[in-house]
Structure 1
Amino acid sequence: MPHVYILECSDGSYYVGSTWDLEARLQQHASGKGAKYTSRRLPVTLRWTQATDSIAEAYAWEKKIQGWSRRKREALMRGDWEAIQQASQRRGGRPPA
């Protein structure tokens, strides 16, 4: 089943990815063979995951979340939808167009 996921790296940064097989992908990351970014920041810890209906949907979520701020990613991991909405507002309090 396709998933989108967020890993926390040893340096405190976040890595966002998507995969068909979450368990296998996590093993790849843990062994240093998952991605160049995570291989230099081991160990990594799974902080959030969401199953999707298709790999295309998982990939779309991955790209969307990669563009988010740290604050917004952390709100997502907490399931704090109000904070996600607040983090989405432009400076000056106007919602994005």
Structure 2
Amino acid sequence: MIRLTAWVRGRVQGVGFRWWTRSRALELGLSGWAANLADGRVEVVAEGPRESCVKLLEALRGGDTPGQVEGVVERWSDAKGSMAGFVER
């Protein structure tokens, strides 16, 4: 189990991006959250199998998201195991 933290920049607030991310994460069996940040980015935190987190990261960068993603910065760490489900914050 691993934790992916991704910061997504672009036109990603007010366009259904967090809902879309939640749907993809749940399809992949991940737990975590997607939250709007004050600077216009969306922070995505997901825990689960590494291959599922990689697939979510690829989807975030894939071009089929709501809005327009200009860039994604990711950080990998050990899963903390404290999350259940995937929520929009």
TM-score range, shorter chain: 0.3 to 0.5
Structure having the higher helix fraction is 1
Q: Greater relative contact order (Cα 8 A, min sep 6): structure 1 or 2?
A: 2
Larger Rg: 1
Structure having the higher strand fraction is 2
